[in-house]
Structure 1
Amino acid sequence: MSLVVYNTLTKKKEPFVPMEPGTVKLYVCGVTVYDLCHVGHARSAIVFDVIYRYLQSRGYRVVYVRNFTDIDDKIIKRAQEEGTDYRTIADRYIEAFYEDMDALDVLRPDIEPLATDNIPQMIDIIRRLEEKGIAYQAGTDVYFAVEKFPDYGKLSGRSLEDMMAGARVEVDANKRNPLDFVLWKGSKPGEPAWDSPWGPGRPGWHIECSAMGSRFLGPTFDIHGGGKDLIFPHHENEIAQSEAAFGVPFVRYWIHNGFVNINNEKMSKSLGNFFTIRDILKAVHPEALRLFVISKHYRNPVDFSDEALAEAERALERLYGTLEETDARTPKDLDEGSFAEKAVMDQDKDLFQKIAEFGEAFREAMDNDFNTAQALALLFDLQRATQRFLDAFGRKSLKGPAAALARKAAACLREHGGVLGLLTRTPEVFFEEIKQRKIARKGIAEAEVEALIAQRSAARKEKNFAEADRLRDRLSEMGVQLEDTPEGTRWRVR
């Protein structure tokens, strides 16, 4: 099966064929850096990170561009409120953005341009449009004349007549048409400004991505992505100004991720159901948030809740638990290739078959418009089969072909989990990170837990099992779960 993607432009799934064989040119709209990122930003970042990772795993060379909008009304307002300049605000929240994305294991794109570094390219596009009679100056502003672009509305599926009928006419006497959008804004006193043929000012929002996309990927490129909220007017306007300026199709495949709802309501600051990434990661592991996001198909809405996040974290613990047990019960110096394939297969034909067929099944799922939900189902099916295989041996260490089969299963889980940005840590690191979050969340004093465990170990050594059981019960009441191993007692937080 070849890769097929749902193209918002054509409203159907299409075979993906890049313009240049072996290379994919991908542009994703970045954030406006005036505040901390929220869970909606997390969803978009994770969705396109998985697409980026998967395209690379398919052997494509991906040129990935994601911009920063670092000049905007909201940035200027925040700067004025704080008595500082726009650059200070933008730099602060760019740094915060990177901290959040790094915490989520979101890979850095190849190119991350700032809007303010590309103003000459924006001016060039506006001049092209003006020369063609598609842009006009009104006062100190420059507008795009929507009626001059016959294909306006082709991405969103809206007709010009319907848009005109429902248009809210802005208080702007300079516009010829209420649907016309600004390309260049004349500066107001105290605002940052750049020189232009139309006087000092700054770019409109929509022109930014047209300029940066064409500069770094060319006037036509393969994929443009973003949230569904950007389809209209942002991406619609990008198409209009880019195709009108350059005379060629702007983007071949448009990909949009669905909305995030909070407890079945649309996320909104006004409703008070607005969560930053930082708020969420205080409570759950970053990979749990990633698992939660990709458990639904990227085009579908996802309902964010504490219960859903908790379930994602428990599921992730099952994956890592199987990897941890495999690592602990198989020799570290095992040479898996030294065993005959039939001997390995005979240990568990069902598990062996799942491993043999996994790569093709995983690829088939992801080739179907990046169906991460189906890919995850395969991953958990393999985890359950691996765990059953381990359980069949009780707590014994595995040797020979049995150990080789368990190792093959764990390697398969890690390899394909990695394509989704999961299972990127060692189990030891993962469970320690989980433990520290739960300790903080439950207010557990780690030193007290360690002291009680030491007392219990001493009681067991003295064969005072009643005292040992009492201490275990006390720890259990604190939310601490013990596991006695030959290496000593380990503990986790439920």
Structure 2
Amino acid sequence: MATTTTTSRKQPPWRQPTTEADAPALPPLKVYNSLTRSKVPFVPLDKSGKKVTWYCCGPTVYDAGHLGHARNYVTTDILRRIVRDYFGFDVTFVQNVTDVDDKIILRARENFLFTEFVAKNPTITPEVKSTALAAWMHYVTEKLKLPEGDSVTPETFLSWAVSHKDYARIYAIVEKEVHKKPGQEAEEILLNEKDTKIKMHLKTLYTSSYALVEIQDSPQAFYDAIASILPTYLDFKARKENREYGMEIFSMLSTYWENHFNEDMRRLNVLPPTIITRVSEFIPENVAFVQRLVQKGFAYQTQNGSVYFDIQTYENAGHHYAKLEPWNKGDTALLADGEGSLSTQPSEANTTALASNVFVKEKKSPNDFALWKSSKPGEPSWPSPWGPGRPGWHIECSVMAGHVLGGKIDIHSGGIDLAFPHHDNEIAQSEAYWEGDFKGYDKCCSTTDGDGKHQWINYFLHMGHLSIQGSKMSKSLKNFVSIREALARGPMGETPAWTSRGLRVVFLMGGWKEGIEVGMGVLVEAKSWEESISKFFTNVKALTAEETEKEKRGEFIPMTFTAAEAQIYQDLDNARSSLHVALCDNFNTPLAMQVLSEIVQKANVYMLNNKNTFSVPAVKEIARWITRIVNILGLDSTPYAGDKIGWGDATGEVEGAGNKEDILMPYLRILSNFRDKIRTMAIANKDGVSSKELLAACDVLRNDDLPPLGVSLDDRDTAVALVKLVSPEELLAQKAEKEKKAAEKEANKLVLKAEREAAERKKLEVGKLSPTEMFKPPHSDEFEEWDDDGLPTKVKGGEEVAKSRGKKLKKDWEKQKKLHEAWKAVQAPN
């Protein structure tokens, strides 16, 4: 969930940035600053008002990027493009790569140990089963933490989960997911984060219990099923044995996933950083940074060789701690997560200290955080004055940002989940480091916050979460869809797959600091927006090409300017103004997207209401402006030029897409002209024998031959068709939809015909009865005497048939006679 301002919280005391007296005029841009928890004017540190320094927290590279990462980095890219390309600032954008981290260490070791185990055990032996069972029980103990007396085994798991008082409800959801048929739409069930974790654990136990109980002779299937429980257990055993590893297993993992991440960003059309910094390449700088904090009294060394930041000393010196989220100060869960999963695991050398409870007391306060971590067996390490170790998670960003951008930075961005403790800890250690000595950075450091202390960052921008089925998308929750999966099959598993442009539209339609819930409603709305813009571009390009051809032929082209043209140009001016207001107001992209949609609607209405007289230059001007804006927003990966109209391929992967029209249009125009002549001849020769055949051939060309090439021909009232270049997928999808409707129409005709024929058969069947027999038994028991034609004369009992009754019977007799004659006619041989 995104952080929002609440009236119950006081505004923080630190000062907002103010404009220098000699600063030039700046755009009236206001941004939501997490430091002030309000929208404030954006004023860069640079006195010329041109340069902006920006540090962005980059990826921890240990697994595939997911849609939550896409949300963060694509949204950051959108803001960066607006600052650079719309407001015209010169942005130096620095982004780090965390390639030294607890998650990387664990994943690298687990991958190595699992691969090693599988290689040593290619078949499912009793020993393999025994190890897998131990891993299963270890997982239950670690993840579910069952109370005493509540036990479960792989054999009893299903019955246990179905009836468990705490887990039965969530397990029912697991069963639905597991047994969902291919292509079946998943039910959207909203769960909180705690229940999402439980669901993940139950699903893991379900899969692995099945492997232990049912799989006997398929090693591949067996290892696939226990891959979520065995690596963790193998690492648990290896730690107890103090196993060591080569540094290459950690660097190989991080290098692979860093390249994977970079490729994902290219596919998402995210601009590369101006400067990339890796933690592993800044180890000396990290050591020097920590040394200085120790020397200044803001950090202390512990007995096991770790160094911690002293928050109490920091606050005693007049600083504020947890400026971004003071309400989370002291949150033990968040603090533990910030320290990392390996932080509380002592080495063999510290076993005695742990037993006497000294190890826990080494930190002066639970709130203090690690600047330098003493490396234990099985962890990468570098030399330092405190012994072999590695940087803490928070220190790395402070070191790299300060080394590249100095002690005073305009913008720091990242996901909202990083605000506390990561960014709050960055602020504390950086402002302690830079205070009082800004050698080499004097020009940056004249501004201080409201407590008179050094202010490191002027603006913190935090991107909102992306949620799926109510929970934040997270690797640790295993509820994520990877970026590549989304681009292959869509965020919700739908087809056709989503494009990088489609995902960016989704993020643009949500506020940058607000959360976005992935659901079909949001995705459908985004696709509708994209299709409307794309269709407008296609129409304007086709009209432009047609007008160019007319000019080449020397035809007269009227240039009208009536009240309608005056209004559409005014609509464009209003759109420009509204979009500017939206972007100045905290990068309000949802409103900006609405403005673009509305001007397209107005342009379409203008063309519809003035079919034969509308001004092509007017709609071209609108299309050029929209092209510029969508390019600024990153919706087009092809090069932008001032007179360009439209966008390139939606995936951003087709080279030369911007020249497609120039290359193909002359050939398409010749082909279209040829077709137009045939159509004209066929229409004029209405009584000719070949008219239908000629028109049918034209329709085949239009409906069957050209769509696979991405060519659309729109017939108009005039003899000249409008030629468009559209994606083959879109045209073929439209063709399939038309064929589907035609087939349904034909099927309905057949049903109606069958119903008519059935009614006729029923009618004929009724006529099988002769009118002379219709009032006699066994067809009627009401009468006892009849005349020669079979008409009743007496009812049973001897009473004469009443005159009025006789008339009615006569009508029925005559009706049946006609039916009977029709029946006999059908029976007669031809």
Residue by residue, what CA displacement relative to the aligned partner does 1:70-97 show, whole Å, maximum 9, x if unpaired? 1111112222233361111111111111
Call closer, same or farther: CA 1:141–1:272 in 2, change over 3 Å. Answer: closer
Return the alpha-carbon distance in structure 1 between the equivalents of residues 478 and 101 of structure 2: 24
Aligned amino acid, residue 493 of structure 1: A
Q: Greater Rg, structure 1 or structure 2?
A: 2
Aligned in 2, Cα 1:428/1:130: closer, same or farther, shift over 3 Å? closer
- Unaligned residue ranges in structure 2 (runs of 5+): 1-26, 113-247, 345-358, 436-453, 489-496, 552-558, 639-644, 654-678, 680-689, 705-709, 716-720, 735-830
- The answer to whether the aligner puts 1:462 opposite 2:693 as a matched pair is yes
- 1:92 and 2:256 equivalent? yes
Match of 2:570 in 1: 353
Query: 1:178-237: CA deviations, max 9, x gaps?
Result: 111111111222422212111121101100100111111111111111111001000010
Please say if residues 347 and 405 of structure 1, whose CA atoms lie closer than 8 Å, have aligned partners that are also in contact. Answer: no
Q: Distance in 2 between matches of 1:344 and 1:7?
A: 47
Note if contact 1:8-1:254 (Cα within 8 Å) is conserved in structure 2.
Answer: yes
1:230 aligned residue (399, 409, 418) = 418
Give the match's secondary structure for 2:459: strand
Which residue does the alignment assign to 2:440? none
**Relative to total residues, which structure has the larger strand share, 1 or 2?**
1
**CA spacing shift, 1:94–1:488, aligned 2, 3 Å:** closer
Question: Taking structure 1 as reference, are residues 277 and 329 closer, same or farther at Cα in structure 2, changes over 3 Å only?
Answer: same
Q: Which residue of 2 aligns with 1:26?
A: 54
CA contact (8 A) 2:502 2:650 kept: no
The aligned residue for residue 480 of structure 2 is 274
TM-score (norm 1): 0.83
Q: Is the 8 A contact 1:285 1:313 kept in 2?
A: no
1:92-137 superposed Cα distances (whole Å, 9 cap, x missing partner)? 1111111111111111110111111112221121011100121111
Q: Matches of 1:372 and 1:302 in 2, distance apart? A: 14
Match of 1:384 in 2: 601
User: Is the contact between residue 60 and residue 98 of structure 2 (CA under 8 Å) also seen in structure 1?
Assistant: yes
Question: Which AA in structure 2 matches 1:26?
Answer: W
**Is the 8 Å Cα contact of residues 187 and 193 (structure 1) preserved in structure 2?**
yes
Q: Do the aligned partners of residues 272 and 97 (structure 1) sit closer, same or farther apart at CA in structure 2, a change above 3 Å counting?
A: closer
How far did residue 427 of structure 1 move? 5.7
Query: How far apart in 1 are the matches of 2:403 and 2:284?
Result: 11
What per-residue deviation string (whole Å, max 9, x for no partner) do you get for residues 285-307 of structure 1? 11110010111111111111244
Alignment-derived partner of residue 39 in structure 1? 67
2:349 aligned with 1:184, yes or no?
Answer: no
Shift of 1:50: 1.2
Asked if residue 153 in structure 1 is aligned to residue 322 in structure 2, the reply is yes
Map residues 401-420 of structure 1 onto 2, 5 A cutoff: 402-420=615-633
Contact 1:481-1:492 within 8 A present in 2 as well: no
What secondary structure, in the 3-state scheme, does the structure 2 residue paired with 1:462 have?
helix
Distance in 2, matches of 1:431 and 1:409, equals: 21
* Range that drifts further, 34-43 or 421-430: 421-430
1:112 is paired with a residue whose SS is strand
Aligned residues: CA RMSD: 3.4
Identical counterparts, % of pairs: 35
Map of 1:286 onto structure 2: 500
Query: For 1:181 and 1:355, how far apart are their aligned partners in 2?
Result: 54
| Aligned position for 2:465 | 259
CA contact (8 A) 2:32 2:40 kept: yes
Structure 1 CA distance, aligned partners of 2:606 and 2:540? 10
CA distance in 2, matches of 1:414, 1:184: 49
- Partners of 1:345 and 1:59 lie apart in 2 by 36
Shifted more, 94-103 versus 225-234: the winner is 94-103
Separation (CA, whole Å) in 1 of partners of 2:548 and 2:109: 60
Structure 1 position 347, deviation (Å) = 4.6
Residue 105 of structure 1 aligns with which residue? Answer: 269
User: What residue ranges of structure 1 are gaps of 5+ in the alignment?
Assistant: 336-341, 435-456, 474-479
Aligned to 2:537: 323
- The match for 2:106 among 77, 83, 87 is 77
- Asked if the contact 2:541–2:724 (Cα under 8 Å) also holds between the matched residues in 1, the reply is no
Name the TM-score, length of structure 2 as normaliser.
Answer: 0.51
1:128 is matched with which residue? Answer: 292
In 2: Cα distance, 1:79 partner to 1:184 partner: 21
Seen in structure 2, the aligned counterparts of structure 1 residues 409 and 12 have a Cα distance that, compared at 3 Å, is same
CA distance in 2, matches of 1:64, 1:190: 35
Change (3 A) 1:269 1:23: closer
Does residue 1:14 correspond to 2:40, yes or no? yes
2:649 aligned with 1:430, yes or no? yes
Does the aligned pair in 2 maintain the 1:334–1:404 contact within 8 Å? no
Pair 1:320–1:255, CA change in 2 (3 A): same
